[in-house]
Amino acid sequence: MLWVISQLSTSFAMHVHGNTPFDQVTAIDKLHIYGGVCLFIPAVLFFALVLYRRKVTDLYPWLTGNWSALKDDLRSLVRFRLPEPSPGGLAATVEGLVYWHCCWRLPPVCCGFLP
């Protein structure tokens, strides 16, 4: 967790663009770049562990047409009540969308700036 927080904090100090020469890359930029590369394997292992513990249909209920838990959660939100976490519910759907976004962003990050 501390590693992820350090990645977030060093990202605020980065000033690297696609055409930045390597001699203008600062130590914070290098720390962020190489820290992200090293964080790749733990992130993949974490994602695999999540998929091992939970079913894909829990994280992406709309793939199988199961909208019932999501509808129930949205109904309770309309009534100003927090929904209970359930497989295929709002919390699991948001978690699935976050994982999907991370996988969507993974190829550009892996093919990005490396000297």
- Kindly report, residue by residue over 16-32, the tens digit of the pLDDT: 777 878 888 888 888 88
| Type of residue found at 5 | I
**pLDDT of 82:** 92
What mean pLDDT, rounded, does the chain reach? 81
First-to-last alpha carbon distance for the chain, in angstroms, is 27
Q: Which of 23, 34, 29 is nearest to 11 (CA)?
A: 29
Question: For 53-97, how does the pLDDT look when each residue is reduced to its tens digit (9 = 90+)?
Answer: 878 888 888 888 889 998 999 999 999 999 988 888 888 888 888
**pLDDT of 109:** 53
